[in-house]
Structure 1
Amino acid sequence: MDTTVDKKDKSSGLGSIRIADEVVSIIAGLAATEVDGIAGMSGGLVGGIAEMLGRKNFSKGVKVEVGEQEAAIDLYLIVKYGVRIPDIALLVQENVKKEIETMTGLRVVEVNIHVQGVGFPPEESREEEVVRVR
């Protein structure tokens, strides 16, 4: 579904601007993963298969509902182990809202965070941390 973003100055007569929902999804996914503390996005089986085939799916774990001038976003996240989830979720909400509004001109009415899992560091990193503690 494409979305038409109406400009305030309609007298110019230049035409309309259409932004695909997929574009809004990609912006939201990239903005979410920019936040330190996010291990990745949870996209289910289809997203995992696409990545195994070598295609990076930037809209994985993102659901958008886009109206004529507004957008609502649902993000399905995997957080890094040890972070404070409410703090990270707030940072993600703020970053996603800012990026979508800046890049598309749409007003973001809500950014819902669904924490789907916790990402742990690779095995050798955890072993190093245990050794340092002793």
Structure 2
Amino acid sequence: DHRHDPGTDERFGERPRQQRTGQPNTRVLPEGSIEVSPRAIASLVAHAVSRSYGVVGMAPANLRDSVVQVLRKEDQFRGIDVHLSRDAITVDIYIVVAYGTRISEVAQQVIATVDYALKQSLGLPVAAINVHVQGVSAE
């Protein structure tokens, strides 16, 4: 029998199969491993969220004294919690939406944009993207 497993035999000019480790953000290749930090994932998510219609900005996950503040661009990762499980990634995103926008549509747009960004840029399996609207801003 002269069959071979596609993706594992370099003699046939095929790419070696990536092996998964205990974390979805790590890939092991024959040449070494690639690990993407949760903070780097959060930065990618923040960039995707900033392009979403109706989002004024990111908000901190923990509100103090019920005051909602829009985070500065360099602090946007603080409005994102990345949870890595054995099989997939879950992201919690804390945003401020623009007054007059339909909140459910903004949240759905954020979910779609972030899901696309994670899958296209990192190829990470996504378990859930949770959007938490921390406030509404007229600015």
Whether the 8 Å contact between 1:5 and 1:69 is mirrored in structure 2 is no
Q: Aligned AA for 1:5? A: T
Tell me the distance in 2 between the aligned counterparts of 1:34 and 1:117: 18
Q: Aligned AA for 1:21? A: P
Matched, 1:63 2:81: yes
Tell me the distance in 1 between the aligned counterparts of 2:90 and 2:25: 15
Percent identity (aligned): 26
Matched, 1:31 2:80: no
Q: Aligned AA for 1:6? A: R
Matches within 5 A, 1:100-115: 100-115=118-133
What is the TM-score of this pair, normalised by structure 1? 0.72
Structure 2 residue ranges without an equivalent (≥5): 1-22, 64-68
Structure with more contact order per residue of length (Cα contacts < 8 Å, sep ≥ 6): 1
Aligned length: 111
What is the TM-score of this pair, normalised by structure 2? 0.70
Q: Which has the higher helix share?
A: 1
Q: CA RMSD in A?
A: 2.4
Structure 1 residue ranges without an equivalent (≥5): 122-134
Tell me the distance in 1 between the aligned counterparts of 2:120 and 2:88: 13
SS for the counterpart of 2:44 is: helix
Once superposed, which parts of structure 1, at least 4 consecutive aligned residues long, lie more than 2 Å away?
2-7
Q: Deviations over 1:62-83 (max 9, x none)?
A: 0010235521000111000000
CA distance 1:42–1:23, change in 2 (3 Å): same
